[in-house]
Amino acid sequence: MPANLTPDYRAAEERFRQAESIPEKIVALEEMMAVIPKHKGTEHMQADIRRRLAKLRQEAREKKAHGDRFAFTQIERQGAGQVAVIGYPNVGKSALLSATTHAHSTVADYPFTTQIPIPGMMDYEDVQIQLIDAPPMTADLMESWMPDIIRRADAVLLVVSLGSDDCLEQAEGVIERLHRIKIILCDRAPEMEKREALFVYRPALVIANQEDREGASERLLLVEELCRDRFPVVPVSAVDPDQLSQFRKAVWNMLDMIRVYGKEPGHPADMNSPFVLKRGSTVLDLATRIHKGLLAEYPYARIWGSARFPGQNVDRDYRLQDGDVVELHR
Ligand SMILES: Nc1nc2c(ncn2[C@@H]2O[C@H](COP(=O)(O)OP(=O)(O)O)[C@@H](O)[C@H]2O)c(=O)[nH]1
Ligand SMILES: [Mg+2]
């Protein structure tokens, strides 16, 4: 049975499409509900509108409970690094977060379900990395506080869907939109002197999600071609947990950090809780971190791992490597 939608309905639907905030969307949906012809042919559509309304109202309540814009962007940093998960609607950002963290982000097959940034902690071996499920953005649309989230984050996961013919647009749209507000996504931030004034650089991975979908392998080639020499591309499927160990590892590598394990003289190393430092950190950096300056002046260390022989003495400028066991001395 044809729906026979009226011009009034079409206009309200268009307003909904254009709406950027939750209240605007709610108003537009209520209008759609009011003017939709009520007969059997539109029953499905009515149910869909009601469902979307319920969802948005719930989110509006949650948003209130979560406070204002300031509170959105000031997500307390936890773990080894903070990584913003961004991208077009429906690419699977929330699904990835749900699969890799304990965060409860709504996964749904219609756009714009995530309206507030939701943090979750992802395990990678013996460290944890904070992922932030951000609301969707497109080449034209972005919540006003999204740039803050991205600037505050250490790195970015740009998620695209290999299930969609728009996958290239999903990558380029985001990259260009951010460039316009002076955020450059890159593989590694260039040397200071090579940076453009007033721009911020954020390391990024392109996460090619929905690899299980039909046509994904052909689209993956296109995405890889687009990103060549610019970003690593990590194909994943949020619905296949076995694959996600590669994802975790790639995120950790992007952060460019090392883990070192502390050891007290005469005691075994504490292999349970590593110190996480920027790659390139020295014995002095570690001493400064642990002792907040007290031991920082002329420390030396004994190192197990990257040193030439176990327990070798190294001076304070020694560059630590991932996995080193370090016994600090003064
Ligand atoms: N087949 C498949 N479906 C996925 C995958 N990731 C997400 N989805 C589905 O795609 C839809 C949108 O996912 P969602 O995480 O809400 O997207 P978001 O808008 O980017 O947060 C949902 O129906 C998900 O179940 C995937 O890797 N494979
Ligand atoms: Mg989402």
Q: What is the Cα Rg of the chain in Å?
A: 24
Tens of pLDDT, residue by residue over 156-192, are 999 999 999 999 999 999 999 999 999 999 998 888 8
**First-last CA distance in the chain:** 83
Strand 325-329 to strand 183-186: parallel, antiparallel, or no bridges (unpaired)? unpaired
Which residue has better confidence, 250 or 191?
250
Residue with tokens 């050891």: 263
Which residue has better confidence, 195 or 80?
80
Question: Which ligand 1 atom lies nearest to the CA of residue 91?
Answer: 20
DSSP string, 192-220: GGGSPTT-EEEEEEEEEE-TTSTTHHHHH
Residues having CB within 6 Å of any atom of ligand 1? 87, 89-95, 107-109, 113-114, 136, 209-210, 212-213, 237-239
pTM: 0.77
Domains and CATH numbers, the chain: 7-65 (no CATH), 73-255 (3.40.50.300), 257-329 (3.10.20.30)
Residue 305 pLDDT greater than 60, yes or no: yes
Rounded to 5 degrees, φ, ψ at 261 are -115, 130
Q: Please give all residues whose CB falls under 5 A of ion ligand 2, grouped by chain where several chains appear.
A: 93-94, 114
Q: What whole-number distance in Å separates Cα of residue 204 and Cα of residue 197? A: 20
Q: What whole-number distance in Å separates Cα of residue 236 and Cα of residue 234? A: 6
